[in-house]
Structure 1
Amino acid sequence: MKKIIISTLLALLFWACKEKTKFSYSVTVTAPKEYPVEVHEGWLMDDQKKFICAMPKAGVANTRWLFDGKKAGQGGSKIPYHLNLTYVAYAEKKFYTVDADLPVDKILEEFNKGFDVEADLKVDGEYPLVHDTYNTFTIGAAPGGFIVIWLSAGHHRVEICRLQAKEVFVDVNDFYQNADDENQQQFFDSWFKIAVPEATQEEIKEQGIPFGLWDNYRERFKYRFVLQPYDDKDKFTFQSVGYFNGEANLFYLPNLNKNDYTLVGIPNIAKLSFTQYNTDIEFNDQEMLSVFKELQSKHPNKPMDILVVPTFMYKDFKLSVKCEDEIIPLTKYKVKGVWGG
C-alpha cells in the first residue's frame, strides 16, 4: 500500500512538473515605428531541434518598441530553444539574420513566475488579485541588427534576452514576388520611401540612424513613483508603467501600499490613478537618461523617487526626480490629460 501511495505521489509530481514546462503563446515580430522591418523567413525549434512554428509574415512590422506585433496565427506550447529569423530593415536598406540558442531557463523562470492581475469578477465588492502568466513571445528588431525578445500579456512585459543579428544577402526576387522589374538597390530605395515615415527619412539624411539607442534604453535604475498631494490625503490606487526598454508593469493595491523600489528601465509612459483622478504622462527618453545618470553618479547605488505633485484641483502635474537630498525638476514630460473628479 505504501508503495502505491508513493508511486501515486511521484506520478502527480511528475505531471505537475510537466505542466509547468508547457505554456501556450502566440509569436509576433515588432519594430520601432520609425524603423520598420518585415519578416523574410524564420522559425522556432524545441530542445529536440524540431519545428515549433514559423515567424509570422504579417507585412511591415512597425508597431513600436513597447507593443507586440501583429498576430498571424503562429505560436506554440513547447518552450523554444532556438530562434532563426531573417528580415529586411527598410530604413537601413539591408537584410539581417539571427540564428541563436535561447536562454531556456530564463524563459521557464518568467513563465512560471508570471504576475498578479485583477480578476474579471468581483468578490465581496472588490476585484481580487489572481495569478496569471504570459501568452505572447515577441521578437523586436531595431537598427543595427539589435534584437530583443520579450514575454508579454496585456500590460505586463518582461525582457528575456538581447541578441545580435548580422547583415546577410537575400535576393530581392526571393523575398518580393513583384520585384522582377526592380534590381536590389531599386527595391531598397522604393521601400525606403514607402515604409519609412517622411520625418524619419529627413532625420536619417541629416543625422543618420541612431544606432545604439535601444541598447542605452536597457540600462536599469532603482526607482519608484511618489505622490505628493497638496492636501496629504490622496494616494495612488493604480499604476501602469511602460518603459523605453520595451518592458511594462502593472501595480495594484495592496502592492502599491508597500511603495517598493523596482529595478527597471527609464519610464516611457505612466498611467497613474489616484483616489479621484487619473492621468497619463509621457516621458522624454534623453531627459530621463540624463537625469538618472547624473543622480547616480553623485549618489552611487542609491534609489530614486519620481515625485508627482498635482497642482490645485489636479489641473496639471509637476514632476521631478529625487535622490537622497538632491532634487532635479523634469521639464520635457507631457501630461496627456487628467480625468475624474
Structure 2
Amino acid sequence: MMKALLINLFCNLLLLQSCNPEKQKMTQENFPYMVTVSAPEEYPIEVHQGYLSNGLKDLICGVPKAGMEQAGWQGDGSKAGMGSAEIPSHLYLTYVAYAEKKFYTVDADLPKDKILQLFRKGFLVQDNSKQTIVDGQEYYEMVPGTYDVLTIGAAPGGVIVIWLSGNHHRTEVCRLQAKEVFVDKNDFMGFTDTTESQQQFFDELYKITVPDSIKAEITKNGIPFGLWDKYREKFNYRFVLNPYDEEDELTGYYNINFNGESELTDDVKRANEYKLNSIPYDANLYFKKYFTEIFFNDKEMLEVFNTLKSKHPDKPIDIIITPTFMYNDMKVSVKCEDEEIPLKKYKVEGVWGG
C-alpha cells in the first residue's frame, strides 16, 4: 500500500513539473525562430547566399534572399520563410554592400551556448487577458516570453552583428567580421550579361540603391567606418523625470538603442534603475498620466556621453526629462554628478495623455 502511494506521488510530481511552463523553459533545447537580414537604411545590402548550420555542419536553414535589405540597424529584415527550432552553431553568408561596391563573406562559428541561454532566459511580457484595476489604473499580469527572430545585421566595413528579437525585446548575441571577397556579378544575378562589366554593375546599383543624401555625404566625408562599433559601447544610465510635483514619476519605458538592442518594461522599480545600455535611439517614456516619444541624435549623444564618462569615470548618468507647461513639450538634458549638459538635437515626436 505504501509503495503504491509513493509511486502515485512520484508520478504526480512528474506531471506537475511537465505542466510547469517555467520549468520547461529552463530545460528546453529547441526554440522556434525566423531568420532575417538587415542593414542600415542608408547603406543597403543584398544576400547572395547563406545558411545556418549546427555543430556537425549540418544545414539548419538558409539565410533568406529577399532582395535589397535596409530595414535599419534597429529593425529586423524581411521574413522570407527561413527559420528553424534548432540552435545554430555556424553562419555562412555572402552579400553585396551597394554603398561600398563590394561583396563580403562571413564564415564563422556562433556562440551556441549563449544563444540557448538567451532563449531560455527570455523576458516578461504583458498578458492582455489578465487585467486588474487598482484605483482606476489598469494593470496586467506579466508572463514569461522569449525571442522568435534571429537577425543578421550587416554594416559598412564588414561589420556583422547577430541579435535575437521578439515582442519589443532585442538583444545582441555577438559581433563578427566579414571579409571582402570576389563574386562574379553574373553569378549573383543568375544570368550572364556580357554588355556590363563588374565595375559597371557596382556603379549602376550604387546609383539606384543608395539615397542621394548619402551619396553626397560619402562624396564629402566618405563612409563612416567604425560608427556601428561605436554604437556598441555601453554606459551606465537611466531616464529621470523632473516633474512639476512629486506625485508624477516614470512608470515604464520602451527603449530602442543605437546598437540595435531594445527593451520594454512597465515595472516602476526597474524603470528607475541604472542599466548598462548603448546610447538611446528612440525612447517611449510612460508617466502616470502622460507618455512621450523622443528621438535622439547619435553624434550628439556619443559626444555628450563620452565627455561625461571621461570627466566622471565610473559614475552613473541621468537623462533628465523635464515637461514644459501642461506637458506640451519635453526638455532633455544629460547629467553626471554636478555637471548637466542640455541636449539640442533631439526630437519630441509627441506628448499624449492627460
Q: Common fold, TM-score beyond 0.5?
A: yes
Greater shift in the superposed pair: 217-226 or 285-294? 285-294
Which string of whole-angstrom CA distances, capped at 9 and with x for unpartnered residues, describes residues 79-109 of structure 1? 0000000000000000000000001121112
**Alpha-carbon distance, 1:17 to partner:** 8.2
Which string of whole-angstrom CA distances, capped at 9 and with x for unpartnered residues, describes residues 42-62 of structure 1? 000012221110000000000
Q: Which of 88, 102, 112 is the equivalent residue of 2:120?
A: 112
1:325 paired with 2:333, answer no
Greater shift in the superposed pair: 278-287 or 215-224? 278-287
Q: Which of 307, 312, 316 is the equivalent residue of 1:294?
A: 307
Amino acid of the residue matched to residue 260 of structure 1? E
1:238 paired with 2:252, answer yes
Q: Which of 294, 318, 328 is the equivalent residue of 1:315?
A: 328
Q: Which of 35, 48, 60 is the equivalent residue of 1:40?
A: 48
Aligned-partner Cα distance in 1 for 2:86–2:155: 27
For the 8 Å contact 2:26–2:120, the answer to whether it is kept is no
1:186 paired with 2:200, answer yes
Unpaired runs of 5+ residues, structure 2, are 134-138
**Alpha-carbon distance, 1:183 to partner:** 1.5
TM-score normalised over the length of structure 1: 0.94
Partner of 1:208: 222
Amino acid of the residue matched to residue 218 of structure 1? R
1:149 paired with 2:157, answer no
Q: Which of 171, 177, 189 is the equivalent residue of 1:164?
A: 177
**Alpha-carbon distance, 1:294 to partner:** 1.1
Which string of whole-angstrom CA distances, capped at 9 and with x for unpartnered residues, describes residues 174-203 of structure 1? 111356132211110110011111111111
Aligned-partner Cα distance in 1 for 2:283–2:316: 19
TM-score normalised over the length of structure 2: 0.90
**1:69–1:50 Cα change, 3 Å:** same
Amino acid of the residue matched to residue 59 of structure 1? G
Q: Which of 122, 129, 144 is the equivalent residue of 2:130?
A: 122
Identity of counterpart residues, as a percentage? 58
For the 8 Å contact 1:93–1:189, the answer to whether it is kept is yes
**Alpha-carbon distance, 1:158 to partner:** 0.4
Aligned-partner Cα distance in 2 for 1:188–1:133: 40
SS at match of 1:49: coil
Aligned-partner Cα distance in 2 for 1:132–1:96: 35
Aligned-partner Cα distance in 2 for 1:312–1:59: 48
Partner of 1:335: 348
**1:90–1:18 Cα change, 3 Å:** same
Partner of 2:83: 75
Amino acid of the residue matched to residue 291 of structure 1? V
**Alpha-carbon distance, 1:289 to partner:** 1.0
**1:108–1:166 Cα change, 3 Å:** same
Partner of 1:50: 58
**Alpha-carbon distance, 1:21 to partner:** 1.4
Greater shift in the superposed pair: 109-118 or 218-227? 109-118
1:26 paired with 2:34, answer yes
Amino acid of the residue matched to residue 310 of structure 1? P
Aligned-partner Cα distance in 2 for 1:269–1:97: 31
Partner of 2:284: 271
Aligned-partner Cα distance in 2 for 1:208–1:219: 23
Aligned-partner Cα distance in 1 for 2:334–2:63: 41
CA RMSD of aligned residues (A): 2.0
**Alpha-carbon distance, 1:304 to partner:** 0.8
SS at match of 1:236: coil
For the 8 Å contact 1:53–1:74, the answer to whether it is kept is yes
Which string of whole-angstrom CA distances, capped at 9 and with x for unpartnered residues, describes residues 253-299 of structure 1? 24446x21110100001011212222110111111111111111111
**Alpha-carbon distance, 1:18 to partner:** 8.9
Q: Which of 37, 55, 68 is the equivalent residue of 1:60?
A: 68
**1:132-143 matched pairs, under 5 angstroms:** 132-143=145-156
Greater shift in the superposed pair: 17-26 or 36-45? 17-26
Partner of 2:136: none
**Alpha-carbon distance, 1:301 to partner:** 0.7
**Alpha-carbon distance, 1:3 to partner:** 10
Partner of 2:241: 227
Unpaired runs of 5+ residues, structure 1, are none
Aligned-partner Cα distance in 2 for 1:157–1:240: 11
Aligned-partner Cα distance in 2 for 1:16–1:36: 40
1:199 paired with 2:213, answer yes
Q: How many residue pairs end up in the alignment?
A: 336
SS at match of 1:121: strand
SS at match of 2:171: strand
